[in-house]
Structure 1
């Protein structure tokens, strides 16, 4: 029932019923009032004229008794009662059997509303409504109230003697008419209620059914079916509303398509960006990221496990200051440049956008440039200074004996050889980095090849008190490589391991792996600091920061050359190290099956 009253049909039905009831009530009141006024005035006027005429007739008649009989007959015809009074208010005549209720004359004459005294005084009062108690025809009821219309007019009963004529009529006919009108109004009301109900439900098919269709279509659009349309069956306002709704749905569909395309384009742009993008909402939660930002967040969460929301401290700073924040953030061995700017909604900050750029390579290039200049300067300056100094000693005859001359010449020769080696390695590295690596690959027996390299360093390891081990557990017995180039790589790695391993330590040459061949050079030496790990394969990297080397010291180009040689073979080289526990260099190569 509540659903019906809340519906359009129920509201329309209740509105029409209420409006009709109001109009019918006002109409009935006005109609009853009009009947009352019209009938009462008419009956009052007729009764007044009848009484006045009868009074004049009686006054002019010579035979009063005959005149009274005629008046009684006349009253019987008009259903009017009559009482004739003399000057002493004594009844001298009255009409009976006129169909009126049997009312006590004494009660009638004593009613103050009749104004009988005025009529006896010769005045003409207007007819009045009076209520009389009469005996009921029903023996169970004692008395009943009767409404009468009565009038008293003066009557000259004799010369010089003033009496009165009292005439009265029942007004039951008026009440019957009013009751009939009320019954008619009730019938009209019932008919109107039924008609209104039928009309309201008829309107529902004309008004509410299109509205329900619009509602269903709106639900379909809300669920994502933007091609839904409302069927147009009429050309009235409902049809125009349906057409407008379909136009709105079409425009909405176009707008959603445009937003979807724009979203896809934005997502494509975000995915293709090298820089990471993070959008933070007003609650400090991450709303949007792209792949580079996701990599940064994974590293951040791994390193900052206790912090619930990444970058939240920088977001708070942006919210407090309303200005952009720039910061370099080291995370897991990489350096990220952060720029975070606020997202303003009028005068309020509704979030922030952070742009993250991996500047590790840039910093690495800066370090490489600085190290290259410093190392080349150092590597060339030292032998040049020695060449200059010892040459001046020979020229100035500071060395007096042949042995001294020979020693100085040997030093000059060694330093020139070292400079030549440095220049050759620089040229070789430049060619490799330019992609000009010439390989002469062949099938090599793996174990004999590694055993030969081990024997090459056995004496050196024994002299330094270091254990040199070989461990071959791989299922590959042969490998397709350039043996000279790969020997250059392994020689450099083993030489570095021996130089950085103290006496009593060990260096292990290990070959393992099934699908991928892994060659590892492990030592138990001093290790490499974590901050230097990203740079070990760069030019002039040296573990000893003081750059103090003996005459057999390296140039710092060996690992850079080794990386280029391994990559030319289609492999990779990596390093794992922990300060004070040792270092492991790993060469990973995919074994290629080649025919001899």
Structure 2
């Protein structure tokens, strides 16, 4: 019972039950002690009488005397010699104990002490009282044991239980009736105030009755003033909360507020978008079930033992998030900042500086060495000087191409779509592919290489920047030409296959060659910048190119919504480029 009325009545009933139960227990224990004491006294008198009757007799005579008079005595009589061995039992049909030498009560009786022991038998519900006494006969000492079962104690207890149970029922009924009447009279004014408070909590108009006892009227007046002040405070708080919510929703930083029970109290749109969470209402939901990012869970666990913490998170969509948390008075506050753009720019800058400095070293070294040889040898033969100058020019061209490609790749990685979006137009991929193949067929390196060109569709329209697309496809064909030439040099046997296939939703370009192939350790990072191929020539590994072609190709193809895959690394080595078809609505 949760009401005051119910609790008071319940308390009165419990008090009655405790009082009646205690009285029953005291009464039953008193009766039990009196009956036990009376039985012990009776057994003591009986033992003394038997001692007087037997002390002039010998053991056989004593046994004969007791056998003749056992019907006059209700108690069970047992005789034992001083070794504890049973001599005679007045009721042999009952359980026998034929040897008592180790019994403590028997030992006490041998020392001349009258010993009484009572035992309660739970199975029968009766007490058994045993009395031990040593008696000196003409032919030696014996120990007489008197055993009595007190069934009257259980009978008295049953009667007491019945009387007290009837008394308890009567008292309970009276206590419930009078308690209900008295409590109702006392709590009626408080009940009226409770109804008024419930209406106030539900937002309904409430009228406080100021009539009644002084205590109740003063309480009603105070509640009325408190209700008016509370209403004004709630209105102001609601307005401030709405203003604060609108302000936080406009912040570019994600905000999550968690209570001490681990439930979300508030989460703004920026946090939902940063964590790639489905749109919805997360208020009141467990934070562990809402945020499925392990590092965010680690941050939450850390905040439970530390006032502040922070982690960096990389989401499944390659977002870089900086998450800071602080423990507050009623929970935890998490701030989530999207650092993806800053991280990408910083990473691009670092990679550019590291890669460029490494790649610039080789051509600059060649240029410097060639220039020093010319400077140190003024009388160098003209032919050798010409060769050295030619090296300088070639390395300068290599540096220029490297710088151009690096700047182009950096531009693609920083803003992959911006420049190409402005140049996109409807391009016939079949025609573009034919032009690229014809151009590379005319290269001097392409001599003695067999070409297999299969372009099935007459036209294959895509929305693309033709210059970037030509550069991307040309890089793959250029690699095929380069690595095939490295394998066969000026001999026959090399072939390059270029095909365009209708792939339902995409156009698929496959470029294959039977060149040196791609080693196992290069397959995973083949599209990364400065991942260069190498071939084995005359027992030595030779590095080819400077590893920007496929990185540029990958960025261009992906910026066009396509995909480039290495579908075969062994002979023939095959790259597949997939580009989305032009939508039907744009074909006219």
TM-score by length of 2: 0.45
* TM-score normalised according to structure 1 size: 0.44
